[in-house]
Chain A
Amino acid sequence: MPQFSAQQRAFIRKHSKYEEPGPDETDDELNIIPFLDIVVNLIMFLLMITSAIAFYSQLEASLPTYSSGGVGRRASDEPQLNLSVFVTQNGITVTGSGGKLAPGCATTSTGDVLTVPKRGGDYDWEGLRSCVSTVKGEFPDETRVTVSADNLVEFQDLVSAMDAVREEEGQELFPDVLISAGVR
């Protein structure tokens, strides 16, 4: 330890003097912590809502168009499928140009027949999907299907029918869905 002279000690005291910062020196800034809390909470709230938005999707459909020239690129001499799915309160009827499809979807049938009847009181959506998949196998270029329902059939059942005819395990079946409103 070096020996300091009185003069040096005074010099050291003068230059190492510690002064407590006054209140005007420490509290001169706006306290932003509460503001920061609000911002963090708002961000969390908005993040939660944004994730809720991601739960929504949309199902596209259109109305049938009536025109004399036909729709699409199909040559006029090729057979038209005109696939139609009708949801009733007892089951689902699938029709094409050849008539109503019988259960199993391999043949057509006449009369009051349900192509995919209800099973245990519930609609058999997988049965409908399997049926239209069979039809797709015979008409691979066809993409349109008309969906309609009985007056009292609920919207959820219509949406499920549209889901069943649109695709099967990522493979498109009949993605162009037309909603037939007021036509039976």
Chain B
Amino acid sequence: MAEEEEQASMGAVKREIRRRIAKHPEPEGHGLNIYPMMDMMTILLVFMVMQFASSSAAAITQSEELRIPYSTSEIEMGEATLIQISRNGIVVDGDTILELRNGLVDPSQKQGGGTGFLITPLFREMGRIRDLQKLIEQRSPSRPFKGAVQIVADERTPFRTLSEVIYTLGQTEFSNLQFVTNKTGSIGGPG
């Protein structure tokens, strides 16, 4: 009888069980849950890849053959047909149209030879792009033909070559020129 009276209560038993359980270490794997962070990062990654892919600036790679000039303009780059004029070639939307020698067009590539202004391969290519863009305009009036081109030219390109390209663009109804430049605070660039 006396032994039964001294027996601990059920509450004390439960307290003891809790105390002993609390002594055990937490099993690994119950730490910080990184899944929400991973979800967020994956969404961020997809967003940035899409933004990068849709930007025409992604197609611009500066090199010794293509050094972009400096300008004080603050206008953000838009979207248009991209023409690159490097020291050794003219590239339209990623396709090399003709090769240049030290930034000059070979006379055989021009209508009228050395004194000519119309660059035949460029005229053909831009005519094709114009026809395509006008076809798109007919099918989808929300995408009108604006005659806009982005010109990424090497800073050493002689004006003669540039004027030949611009003249050819004018002949194919591309008269809205957007020169891509590096941003700078002072005229002529940083140095």
Interface residues of A (CB under 8 A from B): 2-5, 8, 11-12, 15-16, 18, 21, 25-26, 29, 32, 35-36, 39-40, 42-43, 46-47, 49-50, 52-53, 55-63, 65, 87, 123, 125-126, 129, 148-156, 158-160, 162-164, 166-167, 179, 181-182
Contact = CB atoms under 8 A, between A and B. Distances in A.
A15 B18 CA distance: 9
Nearest to B169: A63
A156 B176 contact: no
Interface string B34-77: 10011001101100110110010110100000001111111111
A8 B8 contact: yes
A158 B159 contact: yes
Nearest to A162: B71
Nearest to A28: B29
Contacts of A8: 7-8, 13
Contact of B183 (A50, A55, A154, A164): A55
B162 A12 contact: no
Interface of B is mostly: mixed
Contacts, number: 196
Contact of B44 (A16, A43, A63, A152): A43
Given A5-B7, A160-B188, A55 B182 contact: yes
B121 interface: no
Contact of B41 (A18, A36, A55, A158): A36
Contact of B7 (A3, A26, A46): A3
Interface residues of B, number: 70
Contacts of A156: 69-70, 155-156, 188-189
A21 B159 CA distance: 76
Given A4-B8, A154-B157, A163-B71, A46 B182 contact: no
B180 to A, nearest CB: 6
Nearest to A152: B158
A56 B175 contact: no
Contacts of B159: 87, 148-155, 158
B20 interface: yes
B1 interface: no
A36 B117 CA distance: 55
B181 A59 contact: yes
A182 B34 contact: no
Contact of A166 (B73, B153, B177): B73
Given A43-B41, A154-B157, A16 B20 contact: yes
B187 A164 contact: yes
Contact of B170 (A55, A60, A63): A63
B58 A53 contact: yes
Given A2-B12, A4-B7, A159-B71, A58 B17 contact: no
A56 B77 contact: yes
Contacts of A39: 38, 41-42, 45
B95 interface: no
B28 A16 contact: no
